[in-house]
Structure 1
Amino acid sequence: MSTLYWAGQYAAVLSGYYVLMFLWPSIVFRRHLRKKDKLYRFSFCLTVQIVLINTVILGLGLFHVLNRWIVILIFYGVPFLSCLRGVSREDVSRQADHIYRVAAGACGIRSLFHRGIKALFMGLRKLCKRVWGVVRPRLGEYVIFSVLLIYGMIYFSYSAFQDYSYGFGDLYVHHSWIQGLVNGKIFSNGIYPEGMHCFIYCMHTLFGIRIYSILLFLAGVHVVAFLISVYGLLREVFHSRYIPLFALTLFLVLDLMSVNAVYAMSRLQFSIPQEFGLFAQFVCAKYLVRYLKSEHRPFFRGRSSRYVWDENLFMFTAALTASIVTHYYVTIMAFLLCASFAIVFLKKVLTVKRFLPLAAAVLCGLLIAVTPILAARVSGIPFERSMSWAMGVINHTDPEEEATFNQEIYSEIEDRGAAEKIFQMGYCEVYGEERGRHLVLLTAVSAVLWLIYRMGAWILERYFRKRSDRNCFDAHLAIVLASVLFMVVYASGAVGLPQLIAGSRLCAVEQMLLVAVMAMPADLLFSALGLFCREVFRQCLAVAGVAGIYITAQVCGVLHGPLYIELTRYNASVMVTQTIIDRLPKNSYTIVSTTDELYQTIQHGYHEEWLTFLSNSQRKSYKLPTEYVFLYVEKKPLSYAQVHLFHSPSWLASENHIPLFSGIEDGVSQCPEIVSSQISEEMAGEELEMQTNLWDMYKELENRTILESKAYEWCRRFSELYPYEWRIAYEDENFVCYYFKQHSGAPYNLALGYEDSGR
């Protein structure tokens, strides 16, 4: 039953995401998108919609008019008016005539219904015919691409179907910020990029999907945007249209060799701002390349303004803005990626007719993204404290980054050159020494192959008067340069440079760049085959190549392993909470538990911390004035935020990643096993070790065991006092949920330490 419930929630998130992200802009901007190619339409919807939603929601918040009814009016009203705009008078007259005939009895409702069904089927038939006309010429390519996207969605969604709790601590913070938008307050905890929060807020407001479900499943859906955006950029990089499929296959199946790499890949399954916006850097680079490759003949639009319009530059601006409004790290990555292409195409960049519009586009993107932030700052809202964390990373003073820095290896190479430090602290640390050497060698080979091609093309043109496209592989060099540049940023602490981005946050993008480098020799081969082989043969070869990569990964034991989450709750507690929400009236109950249930019950009921509850129960009087009180006790307290890997069939993931976590002190588990302890009467008599941050008292296993033991003892004593009111809502070997019902006007006194413990 629980699997069916979460499958329904996943379907709701998937449908809401598609409607809001793609269908809405496709309707509103259909005239602009009518004759555009598929990747342009995709990129437009993805970037413009995020920027538009962010601007609208923050604008409403700045004027203190942010509420659900205004948002519903805007986002339902705009497409409705857009559709009305395309309706002719003849269509209105025809429909009015049908309604009149039904009202007059000249036409039956069944006849009208039959006519509507027939029109619907005719429309669907016409749509299918158009889609088939597009797909049929490249059926093999579309099939491969669809299989890869579905495989990626399954891989990055798998954990959410095995463990229903938030898998990353930051999700609780982002949930609270989205809740701030629900309450009409923007930047509720300080100024921070709100692009993802605004989008989730709109999904919740427009479609009624629970915020908890959206945060749980959105990443597994949105990862498709990341993969398609990468595909779009690689289509500009590679000469053959099939090589991007090889790169995506390598990214999706190749195993990882370090904890940082698994961490970065695992982040793609969490709905957090940086990973939500990762697509933007690839869209940014794609349209920069198209802008630089084009003949650059901007045309003038409008009768009075006569403004200059360049579609590639417009998309570059939209993607840059989207990167800023989602996460600043994405903007830095976009700068590094675009800088690599700008260096390769430097001659074109520095021409006046290209540089000035490009500079203006960058300024426009910054202005659109920064205006709401400046307005908020002027109104007195401070920056969120993560800005201080980012400065700590840059200055190499962040404790988490220092903990992951391999001081032992660095001490051995401290006196060596920068190249050796980058190799040891970058390639070897992320990929292991053997694979690191292979990747460096392959990177060098790809650069040499590009140089050989350029020299060969120059010789043919100079001495044999044969024209050739000398620049068709120039983007190869840009990807090679970007892969090296990202690795330099990763290892910047070892070479004395500022750490622009936390190293562990770079690994997923670096992995994508390196697999693109690995696919470059295949691009040269397919380009050569294109001179004398038919398209059908190359499609078949592409299918065989993708299948061969997957089979080789399986046979050679290099198929990627499972991703992990930071486990914080038993599935039973999630499902019991959901049942309470579904069955009981709003705000008629209080759940007493550790912090995690707080976010699932927001907008539905009340929550009380066990720490607060046990402390207040020592007073003379303590009451919770709701009709129902539920008390959650972990009979086997779990090791909070433990590394918990999902368990999957062998076709999806191997066991390769598990040995990487063998040195973690808090323990590692793989579903369905969980690292836990056991409550006892002796532990209930122990004293809790106080922490500065109360949440930390839940994280340390011994402290959590003492707390849950005390909670169980309180429940036992209360059940002895009120045996007829005491009930068990759910119980298994790990978790139990007690509850009692009371009159909200005369609640029980929960202070069991005193004699007057009656009503």
Structure 2
Amino acid sequence: MSMETLNVIQFTQLFVGYIGFTVGLPALVFYRKARRFPAAVRFLIYFTIGNFYVINLVQVLELLHISYRATLFLFTFVPAFLLFVKLYNIPVIAYVKKVLDECRHYILRELGFKSFVRNRWNELKVPLRAAVRNLWRLVKENILDVPFLVIFGLLVWKVCGPGILHNWGYGASDIPVHNYWINGLIENNIYVAGIYPMGMHCMLYYLATMLGIPVYVTLRLFWLVQYSMIAVMILVFLKGHCKTRFLPYLGVMLFVGSRYFVGISYSRYGATLPQEYGMLYILPSIFFVMEFFKTRKEELDAGINCIRCTSSWHLLGFAMSFSMTLSSHFYDTIIAGIICIGVAVGYGYWFWRKEYFWRIMLSGVLSFLMAFLPMAVAFLTGKSLQGSMYWAMNVIGLRDYTVLIFRIICIGVVLITVGGIVLIVRGIKSGKISFENKEVQEYSLFLKLLSQVRSLLIFAAVLWVGWRYRETLLWGCKNNAFSLENMNYVLYGIGIALVIGVIQRYLIEPMRGSGIFAMVAAEIFLGLLLVSGALGWPMLMEPYRACIYFAYLIPVLIIMTLDGAVNILLLARLVKLQQAAGFVIASMMIVASTKYDWIRGSFGGGRLEMNEAILCTTNILKDNEGQNDTWTIVSANDELRMIEEYGRHTETIEFLEDMEYWNRTKEVTIPTEKVYFYIEKKPLNYANGYGGEIPEVSEEQAEQALPDNSGLAAYNGPRRSITMSRMYYWAQRFMELYPNEMKVYFENDNFVCYYIEQNVYRLYNFAINYGYN
């Protein structure tokens, strides 16, 4: 099997496994409860429940030191089965008694085997028929969506497929660190390098363990699963918010394929990184809080004012999604918080009313507690902080107080959690907290006008700030996010969005208009974050990170505006005409994008390790399956974490250092049965960190002094050529001494892998005089 085919198969396993565990299984369990919601909302509900459960399940099991494949299976499927039985009112005990009774009749030969099987088949046909009927109904209802979904899939593969097929290594230099942290989870050692958000690591560990895929393969390929789902989040967000059915497809294709996005705004998607992983939960959290405003208003208008209502479930979805941004990466929480401020501005008329405000604040506190509690428990039970925590505190000048501040936060989180639970229980018992309906407060016309004016003034202030710094914002957008020949088109677009928003907000559908206001305000805030350094303000986030989020909301704002325009021009009641208009606009834009070359080139995949090295590692793992710690790879650095759970690793630079200044008393041994040596004949330009050309291995390079062994110094720039040249000529000399023992495992023009088998009781001395040491 070729490596390309294996990559596609393993990517498919990861994608199906991720969707199956985080959407399919929750859908199977909670369909009856969620079926009253539109399909896009149901998808977000299932997705949020699935991801939240998996991440927190892993954290709990890790803190208890009982996280294994068996326990993951047990706590995944047993609770799902019990919930399924309860929610669907399945009489399991009665059914088991019935089957056992039939078994007794079969043993007594009072019932034939065919009759027993026929009874089971008849029972199975009922749910199968229901599933087929629902599937057929779903296909009929969404038959026009299928072509757009196919085009979306093909576009993702066109843009990202070459990365999967041709770039097999890691896509970022810090992925070996994340590989190490996930390996720690395998050993039931969460926070192996210190306290750090572990959402992505928990999910990848779960998938690798449940699917039986090596962690390094998961890290190599999950970036495309991650990127596809980040795009899907745009689709379902717009599907849930917009009235037109087909325009959301235009938005997601704009995000995936438009060549007008600057490369820096999407290049990081080509690696499996926590910051980009956390983006999966930003739009769901924003969608749920926007749906809360809409649903809460409808409930209050209908006289419904109780705790157990639909709007409360939306807030729970918001709290779970927001907590997962914090569980993944602090930057995602910052961005989600900034967008939430934009939502507060856009929905300001309702936000400051106590019927909305206190519920949102409580859900925000709940989200923080849910995300921080595992870290607090780990810290208070002896885990230290990861280095990034000190860096973050150093930014605000409090590095020396990092541990003290974190201890205070952790104690506060635990006390608030325990105290909150106690207060809620006591409140329910005493009757102070009631699930009964309460009277809806009526506001006078004056107070309503005052709220309108206040919300308008706040929104106007945000627009004024954006207008004041428009030149800098347009410069930041052009250089970091979205580049047009005439950037004034961006201002025209925002002007159109504001006009559409005003008409929607005050004449047609207030909540949809407020949604547009919210996205405009959020983009202004994100734009100011993007150019904060250029404005001379404190820089909360580097532009190369902030631009990713800024660009992410551009298609959302465009499609929300376009959807509002269609809604206004064709009137709200002409639903079929609206859908037809959306279909025509989306189709025309897709055709035009191919005709006028609006589609960007491919990106993604890893260039931090040679494909040949990945190929050899994959084959070595297969050849030595079940023989852990009996073999060693001598290579640069990435393989150290890749094979940590299976074999041993020796750094090339350390191997060479051990025989530097050779003499007859030198001895270098590797105590395993097999040893593999990775040597790059055309050395890699690691992370493209060197502007010039890296020389090929040669005697001239080997004659130079051996690079220092500090960090990655020996593997960066021209120094990598020196290291590889030394290693190459050592291998040639060793093969001359042991021609029958030293063999070629793999070789082409770029790379060679040698291997040797040895008796562990009579080890080879690899320290020889190879002419350059």
Which residue of structure 1 aligns with residue 680 of structure 2?
Answer: 634
The farther-off stretch of 153-162 and 244-253 is 153-162
Which residue of structure 2 aligns with residue 502 of structure 1?
Answer: 542
Which residue of structure 2 aligns with residue 225 of structure 1?
Answer: 229
Structure 1 position 271 matched with structure 2 position 272: yes
The 3 A distance-change label for structure 1 pair 730 and 665 is closer
Describe how 1:63-102 pairs up with structure 2 within 5 A. Answer: 63-82=64-83, 86-97=90-101, 99-100=103-104
Paired residues of 1:178 and 1:197 also in contact (CA < 8 A): yes
Q: Secondary structure at the match of 2:21?
A: helix
Paired residues of 1:22 and 1:46 also in contact (CA < 8 A): yes
Letter aligned with residue 327 of structure 1: H
For structure 1, the residue ranges without an aligned partner over 5 or more in a row are 398-415, 458-467, 643-663, 668-674
Paired residues of 2:267 and 2:603 also in contact (CA < 8 A): yes
Letter aligned with residue 577 of structure 1: T
The 3 A distance-change label for structure 1 pair 155 and 429 is closer
Which residue of structure 2 aligns with residue 460 of structure 1?
Answer: none
Structure 1 position 558 matched with structure 2 position 598: yes
Structure 1 position 735 matched with structure 2 position 751: yes
Paired residues of 1:640 and 1:699 also in contact (CA < 8 A): yes
Q: Deviations over 1:9-45 (max 9, x none)?
A: 1222123212321233345555644544433332233
Aligned-partner Cα distance in 1 for 2:570–2:469: 42
Aligned-partner Cα distance in 2 for 1:321–1:574: 36
Shift of residue 441, structure 1, vs aligned partner: 2.2
The 3 A distance-change label for structure 1 pair 516 and 117 is same
Residue correspondences, number: 688
Describe how 1:421-436 pairs up with structure 2 within 5 A. Answer: 421-427=472-478, 430-432=481-483, 434-436=485-487
Describe how 1:8-23 pairs up with structure 2 within 5 A. Answer: 8-23=9-24
Q: Deviations over 1:369-416 (max 9, x none)?
A: 111222222233232222344467779x9xxxxxxxxxxxxxxxxxx9
Q: Secondary structure at the match of 2:474?
A: helix
Shift of residue 123, structure 1, vs aligned partner: 4.3
Aligned-partner Cα distance in 2 for 1:111–1:569: 61
Which residue of structure 1 aligns with residue 725 of structure 2?
Answer: 709
Match among 652, 655, 658 for residue 610 of structure 1: 652
Structure 1 position 591 matched with structure 2 position 633: yes
Aligned-partner Cα distance in 1 for 2:6–2:124: 31
Q: Deviations over 1:312-337 (max 9, x none)?
A: 11111111111111111111111111
Letter aligned with residue 598 of structure 1: L
Aligned-partner Cα distance in 2 for 1:665–1:231: 39
Q: Secondary structure at the match of 2:487?
A: helix
Shift of residue 717, structure 1, vs aligned partner: 1.3
Paired residues of 1:180 and 1:188 also in contact (CA < 8 A): yes
Paired residues of 2:163 and 2:606 also in contact (CA < 8 A): no
Which residue of structure 1 aligns with residue 451 of structure 2?
Answer: none
Aligned-partner Cα distance in 2 for 1:754–1:250: 57
Which residue of structure 1 aligns with residue 435 of structure 2?
Answer: none
Paired residues of 1:153 and 1:221 also in contact (CA < 8 A): no
Shift of residue 553, structure 1, vs aligned partner: 2.4
Aligned-partner Cα distance in 1 for 2:557–2:55: 35
Which residue of structure 1 aligns with residue 156 of structure 2?
Answer: 152
Describe how 1:743-758 pairs up with structure 2 within 5 A. Answer: 743-753=759-769
Shift of residue 611, structure 1, vs aligned partner: 0.8
Letter aligned with residue 729 of structure 2: E
Describe how 1:473-552 pairs up with structure 2 within 5 A. Answer: 473-520=513-560, 522-528=562-568, 530-531=570-571, 538-552=578-592
Letter aligned with residue 583 of structure 1: D
Which residue of structure 2 aligns with residue 697 of structure 1?
Answer: 714
Aligned-partner Cα distance in 2 for 1:729–1:428: 47
Aligned-partner Cα distance in 1 for 2:108–2:336: 63
Aligned-partner Cα distance in 2 for 1:737–1:112: 60
Structure 1 position 448 matched with structure 2 position 466: no
Aligned-partner Cα distance in 1 for 2:526–2:639: 39
Letter aligned with residue 655 of structure 2: F
Q: Deviations over 1:671-699 (max 9, x none)?
A: xxxx7531112211111332642x23212
Letter aligned with residue 450 of structure 1: G
Match among 601, 604, 608 for residue 568 of structure 1: 608
Shift of residue 106, structure 1, vs aligned partner: 6.8
Aligned-partner Cα distance in 1 for 2:358–2:747: 68
Q: Secondary structure at the match of 2:649?
A: strand
The 3 A distance-change label for structure 1 pair 388 and 423 is farther
The 3 A distance-change label for structure 1 pair 145 and 534 is farther
Shift of residue 237, structure 1, vs aligned partner: 4.6
Structure 1 position 38 matched with structure 2 position 39: yes
Describe how 1:330-479 pairs up with structure 2 within 5 A. Answer: 330-390=332-392, 418-427=469-478, 430-432=481-483, 434-451=485-502, 457=507, 468-479=508-519
Q: Secondary structure at the match of 1:169?
A: coil
Q: TM-score, normalised by structure 1?
A: 0.83
Aligned-partner Cα distance in 2 for 1:205–1:580: 20
Aligned-partner Cα distance in 1 for 2:118–2:685: 61
Paired residues of 1:426 and 1:488 also in contact (CA < 8 A): no
Q: TM-score, normalised by structure 2?
A: 0.81
Aligned-partner Cα distance in 2 for 1:122–1:31: 17
Q: Secondary structure at the match of 1:139?
A: coil
Which residue of structure 2 aligns with residue 245 of structure 1?
Answer: 249
Which residue of structure 2 aligns with residue 170 of structure 1?
Answer: 174
Paired residues of 2:246 and 2:586 also in contact (CA < 8 A): no
Paired residues of 2:238 and 2:248 also in contact (CA < 8 A): yes
The 3 A distance-change label for structure 1 pair 87 and 5 is farther
The 3 A distance-change label for structure 1 pair 237 and 11 is closer
The 3 A distance-change label for structure 1 pair 23 and 424 is closer
Q: Secondary structure at the match of 2:130?
A: helix
The 3 A distance-change label for structure 1 pair 231 and 564 is closer
Q: Secondary structure at the match of 1:282?
A: helix
Aligned-partner Cα distance in 2 for 1:307–1:478: 25
Aligned-partner Cα distance in 1 for 2:115–2:364: 57
Paired residues of 1:593 and 1:633 also in contact (CA < 8 A): yes
Which residue of structure 1 aligns with residue 287 of structure 2?
Answer: 286
Q: Secondary structure at the match of 2:210?
A: helix
Q: Secondary structure at the match of 2:540?
A: coil
Shift of residue 115, structure 1, vs aligned partner: 6.9
Shift of residue 54, structure 1, vs aligned partner: 3.1
Paired residues of 2:244 and 2:578 also in contact (CA < 8 A): no
Letter aligned with residue 5 of structure 2: L
For structure 2, the residue ranges without an aligned partner over 5 or more in a row are 400-466
Q: Deviations over 1:423-457 (max 9, x none)?
A: 324445544463432212211232134335667x3
Aligned-partner Cα distance in 2 for 1:15–1:248: 21
Paired residues of 1:51 and 1:325 also in contact (CA < 8 A): no
Letter aligned with residue 623 of structure 1: T
Paired residues of 2:631 and 2:648 also in contact (CA < 8 A): yes
Aligned-partner Cα distance in 1 for 2:110–2:744: 63
Letter aligned with residue 632 of structure 1: Y
Which residue of structure 2 aligns with residue 657 of structure 1?
Answer: none
Aligned-partner Cα distance in 2 for 1:120–1:529: 51
Which residue of structure 2 aligns with residue 404 of structure 1?
Answer: none
Q: Deviations over 1:90-136 (max 9, x none)?
A: 42234335545665667776776677677667644432321232342
Aligned-partner Cα distance in 2 for 1:640–1:626: 29
Letter aligned with residue 703 of structure 1: R
Structure 1 position 201 matched with structure 2 position 205: yes
Aligned-partner Cα distance in 1 for 2:557–2:592: 19
Q: Deviations over 1:301-354 (max 9, x none)?
A: 8xxxx8998111111111111111111111111111111121121121111121
The 3 A distance-change label for structure 1 pair 105 and 277 is farther
The farther-off stretch of 186-195 and 536-545 is 536-545
